[in-house]
Amino acid sequence: MLRYALRRIPSGLLILAVASVVIFLLLRATGGDPAAVKAGPDASPETIAAIRTSLGLDLPLPVQYFRWLTGLFTGDLGYSLVTGAPLASLIGNGLQATFVLTFAASLLSVGIGLVLGIVIAVSSGTGRSVLDGVASMMLAVPTYVSGVLLILVLSVTFNVLPVGGYRPLLDDPQIGVQYLAMPAICLALPAAGVLARFLATSMRQVMDEDFVRTGMAKGLGRGRLLLRHILPNALPPVFTVLGIQVGQMLGGAIVVEAIFAWPGIGSVLANATLARDYFLIQDLLLIAVAVFIVIQIVTDLAHAALDSRVRLEQPSS
Amino acid sequence: MKNHLISTDTITSSTRRQLLMGGAGAIALLALPGCDRSAVKEAASGNAASGVKTLVMTQSTDFNTGTMMAQNNPNLSIMRVIFNSLTEYDPKTMEPKPSLASSWKMSDDQKSLTLDLRTDVLFHDGAKFTSADVLAALAFMQKDGVPSQVKHNAKIVTASAPSESQVVLTLQHPVSNIFDMLEMMVIPQKDSYEKMLTGAAFVGTGPFKVDSYKHGQGMSLSANDKYFKGRPKIDKVEVQIVAEASSRVASLKTGASHISMDLPPLDITGLIADAKFANVIAETWDSAMYVASNVTVAPLDKKEVRQAIAWSVDRDAIVNKVLSGIGQTSSLPWSKSSPAYDEAAVGHYKYNPEKAKQMIEAAGASGKEVKICYVAAQAGFASVAEIVQAGINATGLKATMVPMQAADFFKGLSGEGLPGLFVNGHGFGQLRPATLLKGAFPFNADKNASRFSNDQYKALSNAIWQNTDATKAKAQYDEINKLLLDEQFVSDLALGAHTYTISTRVKGLAYTALDYLILDQADLG
């Protein structure tokens, strides 16, 4: 398994290298001028030109590209073109907040998805239709709708959770978790709906397998059969979906972070994109590519760990 | 045939127990807010039992630390809270009042201004405010890459400091708007500029000092005990960046915040229906909406077409539908506080589609296409662009909308030009007219976003800029108004205002002539 993971590193690096060129060139091709945004309203063309020069935006593209790469390799990410903030702290703080949110949302989605998926799989008739509908609604309702609804219900009407904001969990866990709860639930609901539906379908397929019938014939308890035999066999495909869902949650966090004023990387990326903050966008997109590569590797490894039929190692010829 | 061996009625009791336990866990998670400390209660307290009064503000966008020497909307909430300027206008009368400068004297030839500085002012870091800080601010503002709308307006030849408490500015020629520059130029501590630009530190003399600033999250400030105008009544201020307007509204409703800046007008109307909220309108009315023409693009190169467009726009619809009544129609850029304001002239262009259509036909422009550019993310301007489009299409012109991202729009505005009409906003109508004519890029006589070049306009702008004789000024203002109404390279549509929607617990809120929030006397009831 370790050899498999190590074997993926060169291809991962190649993908990163190609991605860096594509990201760099695409950003320049989209037009816009970060110097004009930095200069603010009513700035004269002379002021904007001076800012452009000071930021190195008038240098040839290859020079700008290699400056960026050099900065990445030496750990000097530089400063935001628009806000002047150090990119290292901007990205570090944003990533920290987003990872906390995504991790909490992943746990919630797995918890809700597992419970709902199992119940759907074992239910029948009207109950199953209703629960199926609930799962469908969870994945169909966009986060910007569920987010606003959650605020209206839990904050405005019952006033039990704060509307938005952020308190680092390590600084004050008791308060921090209350700020985390609503955005995490909002982000988790669509993924939980997807997981529940996948799990239910997968479990029902496994229930039709001969070994389940054999287990029943041998007198295995139904609970034992469900949790020890059916669920483990139904989980591997769900894990693959979970990997994709975590990736989607990282992307979907942009909307949730905006609604709940959660200072994650999503809002940083959205603002940077609107302002054409090239250096910041480049770094963030490259990090996103790297994270997706890692998630895919971890998902493959988890899949193999759960399903002994999956072999990651290729037999040596 | 499907043979589902397990169904709801066959789940064993142990499975049910496990499900129930899972449900109990989820309920426990949701019950977290019920623990002994509640984030809601802490956020809403403001007047906490501890006796610390914390005022919480929300705004949609992060501060722009690179534009602290310019007027820039994201910074309105903090500029006058952290910093002071040398002089400060009374926003009602526009008379300059002492601030960091205790008095001043202009020489008879109007080319030398001597400012006497207060000697009892300390910066937040404990350093004493002196003339060296003023010279540093002037030098910083004059740098090429430092944005400031008024940096070139003062034509300062030399700035000297005869003593720690006096600064003398020598001007190339008399200027009518020197106090606009003094108002806009805040005075940070002279060694703090580099840190200010990156947001690492803000060292001013204002009523609150910055405890922390996190990009994209907000700023925490605490009262400056040694503030030269007296310690503020509020102990702490939190400014939170909340992008979503609905979340800012919910935050006000739940008491988690007390002030929200520039909420969408419809949200304001909804909130102030509740007696617990009020709307403070900055009555400088310096948030003007306009549609301007790139006069090098046909058919906008014809003055008659631009005039027809000015007649075609339903300005009342803009005030009523876009600004929800918080605004005034106007054909000129000036607010009521401006000496160039003319009650009759501001109402010159009224909605007259028939006249507009006739003018387009007379100009031979019927059927011609015009593009309307605007920043798509700014909902207000998008709505204005729609109203403008409807009016123009009724004249026989064919208007198409061009929604743009801010970075593209402003690049076009200041650099390569926009391909037709553009809808945007401008400020400075409340200040001395020269500041708008020389400093606001839509109107700058020497180089403007419309590519409009006119010798008479340049001469008039320069005359207004250099004239300090109030008796001559009236005729100049009449002339410039006539020219602006005639040429219509910028068609002003409505004057809006920056707003602070507040909980009625907030007392003593004020604002400067530049709409900077003043919290010197603010309190939480």
Whole-complex ipTM: 0.73
At A174 the pLDDT is 86
**What confidence category does residue B348 fall into, taking pLDDT thresholds of 50, 70 and 90?**
very high
Angstrom CA distances, B41 to A163, A302, B34, B46, B457, stand at 12, 43, 11, 9, 59
Question: In chain A, what residues touch B410 (CB-CB under 8 Å)?
Answer: 33, 36-37
Q: Determine, for residues B145 and A50 on separate chains, whether the beta-carbon distance falls below 8 Å.
A: yes
Question: In chain B, what residues touch A216 (CB-CB under 8 Å)?
Answer: 5
Using DSSP's 3-state secondary structure scheme, residue B245 falls into helix
- CB atoms closer than 10 angstroms to residue B439: 28
Residue B218 — φ and ψ, nearest 5°?
A: 145, -170
Angstrom CA distances, B275 to B56, B502, B505, B507, stand at 19, 11, 11, 15
Q: Quote the CA–CA distance of B298 and B140 in Å, as a whole number.
A: 42
* Percent residues over pLDDT 90 in chain A: 25
Using DSSP's 3-state secondary structure scheme, residue A310 falls into coil
Note whether A24 and A65 are within 8 A (CB): yes
For residue B490, the distance in angstroms to the closest alpha carbon of chain A comes to: 14
Please name the residue of chain B whose CA is at the shortest distance from the CA of residue A128.
Answer: B8
Q: Determine, for residues B242 and A164 on separate chains, whether the beta-carbon distance falls below 8 Å.
A: yes
pLDDT top residue among B34 and B98: B98
For residue A34, the distance in angstroms to the closest alpha carbon of chain B comes to: 6
Conformational region of residue B495, where left means phi above 0, alpha means psi within -120 to 50, and beta covers everything else: beta
At B46 the pLDDT is 55
Q: Quote the CA–CA distance of A188 and A135 in Å, as a whole number.
A: 12
Please name the residue of chain A whose CA is at the shortest distance from the CA of residue B12.
Answer: A223
For residue A247, the distance in angstroms to the closest alpha carbon of chain B comes to: 23
Query: What 8-state DSSP symbol labels residue A315?
Result: P
For residue B414 the two structure tokens come to 């200041």
For residue A264 the two structure tokens come to 């994650």
Q: Determine, for residues B39 and A178 on separate chains, whether the beta-carbon distance falls below 8 Å.
A: yes
Closest Cβ opposite residue A258 in set B29, B244, B250: B244
For residue B490 the two structure tokens come to 């910028």
Note whether B248 and B263 are within 8 A (CB): yes
At B1 the pLDDT is 40
Q: Determine, for residues B199 and A156 on separate chains, whether the beta-carbon distance falls below 8 Å.
A: no
- Say if A96 is an interface residue toward chain B (CB within 8 Å): no
Q: Any idea which residue has 């700023």 for tokens?
A: B219
Q: What amino acid occupies position A75?
A: G
**What confidence category does residue B6 fall into, taking pLDDT thresholds of 50, 70 and 90?**
very low
**What confidence category does residue B131 fall into, taking pLDDT thresholds of 50, 70 and 90?**
very high
For residue A216, the distance in angstroms to the closest alpha carbon of chain B comes to: 8
Q: Is the pLDDT of residue A10 over 90?
A: no
Please name the residue of chain A whose CA is at the shortest distance from the CA of residue B417.
Answer: A45
For residue B442, the distance in angstroms to the closest alpha carbon of chain A comes to: 7
- CB atoms closer than 10 angstroms to residue B159: 19
- Say if A33 is an interface residue toward chain B (CB within 8 Å): yes
Pick the residue of A28, A30, A44, A213 with the most B CBs within 10 A to test the interface with B by mutation: A44
For residue A228, the distance in angstroms to the closest alpha carbon of chain B comes to: 12
For residue B168 the two structure tokens come to 């003398």
At B35 the pLDDT is 56
Angstrom CA distances, A164 to A50, A115, A267, B28, stand at 39, 28, 14, 21
Q: Determine, for residues A111 and B30 on separate chains, whether the beta-carbon distance falls below 8 Å.
A: no
Closest Cβ opposite residue B256 in set A163, A222, A276: A163
* Percent residues over pLDDT 90 in chain B: 69
Please name the residue of chain A whose CA is at the shortest distance from the CA of residue B446.
Answer: A44
Note whether B374 and B384 are within 8 A (CB): yes
Q: Quote the CA–CA distance of B373 and B385 in Å, as a whole number.
A: 8
Closest Cβ opposite residue A162 in set B214, B243, B256: B256
Range name among A177-181, B83-87, B178-182, B467-471 with the lowest pLDDT average: B467-471
pTM of the model as a whole: 0.82
Q: Is the pLDDT of residue B521 over 70?
A: yes
- CB atoms closer than 10 angstroms to residue A170: 9
Question: In chain B, what residues touch A42 (CB-CB under 8 Å)?
Answer: 70, 149, 426-428, 439-442
Please name the residue of chain A whose CA is at the shortest distance from the CA of residue B8.
Answer: A123
Domains belonging to chain A, first-starting first, are: 97-264 (1.10.3720.10)
Q: Determine, for residues A127 and B8 on separate chains, whether the beta-carbon distance falls below 8 Å.
A: yes
Q: Quote the CA–CA distance of B108 and B115 in Å, as a whole number.
A: 15
* Percent residues over pLDDT 70 in chain B: 91
Q: Determine, for residues A48 and B217 on separate chains, whether the beta-carbon distance falls below 8 Å.
A: no
Q: Determine, for residues B40 and A159 on separate chains, whether the beta-carbon distance falls below 8 Å.
A: yes
Q: Is the pLDDT of residue B393 over 90?
A: yes
**What confidence category does residue B4 fall into, taking pLDDT thresholds of 50, 70 and 90?**
very low
Q: Determine, for residues A163 and B251 on separate chains, whether the beta-carbon distance falls below 8 Å.
A: yes
Note whether A185 and A108 are within 8 A (CB): yes
Range name among A6-15, B215-224, B247-256 with the lowest pLDDT average: A6-15
Closest Cβ opposite residue B407 in set A152, A267, A275: A275
Q: What is the pLDDT of chain B when averaged over all its residues? A: 89
Q: Any idea which residue has 């770094």 for tokens?
A: A283
Using DSSP's 3-state secondary structure scheme, residue B518 falls into strand
Question: In chain B, what residues touch A118 (CB-CB under 8 Å)?
Answer: 19
Q: Determine, for residues B199 and A178 on separate chains, whether the beta-carbon distance falls below 8 Å.
A: no
Q: What amino acid occupies position B363?
A: A
CB contacts < 8 A, A to B, total: 250
In the predicted model, what is the mean pLDDT of residues B344-364?
Answer: 96
Q: Quote the CA–CA distance of B213 and B221 in Å, as a whole number.
A: 9
Note whether B333 and B492 are within 8 A (CB): yes
pLDDT tens per residue across span A181-232: 999 999 999 999 999 999 999 999 998 889 888 988 888 888 888 888 898 8
Q: Quote the CA–CA distance of B102 and B405 in Å, as a whole number.
A: 45
pLDDT tens per residue across span A267-282: 788 878 877 888 888 8
At B5 the pLDDT is 42
Please name the residue of chain B whose CA is at the shortest distance from the CA of residue A221.
Answer: B12
At B56 the pLDDT is 94
Question: In chain B, what residues touch A181 (CB-CB under 8 Å)?
Answer: 29-30, 32-33
- CB atoms closer than 10 angstroms to residue A248: 14
Query: What 8-state DSSP symbol labels residue A153?
Result: I
Cis peptide before B299 (omega within 30 of 0): yes
Q: Determine, for residues A226 and B11 on separate chains, whether the beta-carbon distance falls below 8 Å.
A: yes
Q: Determine, for residues B250 and A152 on separate chains, whether the beta-carbon distance falls below 8 Å.
A: yes
Note whether B86 and B182 are within 8 A (CB): yes
**CA dihedral sign of residues A218, A220, A225, A227:** negative
pLDDT tens per residue across span B260-270: 998 998 899 88
Note whether A229 and B19 are within 8 A (CB): no
- Neighbouring residues of A2: CB distance < 8 A, sequence distance ≥ 6: none
Q: What is the pLDDT of chain A when averaged over all its residues? A: 85
Range name among A198-212, A227-241, A300-314 with the lowest pLDDT average: A300-314
Of B116, B96, B95, which Cα lies nearest the Cα of B105? B116
Note whether B147 and A39 are within 8 A (CB): yes
- CB atoms closer than 10 angstroms to residue B469: 10
For residue A292 the two structure tokens come to 């997706």
Q: Determine, for residues B7 and A50 on separate chains, whether the beta-carbon distance falls below 8 Å.
A: no
At A315 the pLDDT is 52
- CB atoms closer than 10 angstroms to residue B160: 12
Note whether B439 and B149 are within 8 A (CB): yes
CA atoms within a 13 Å half-sphere pointing along the CA-CB vector of B98: 11
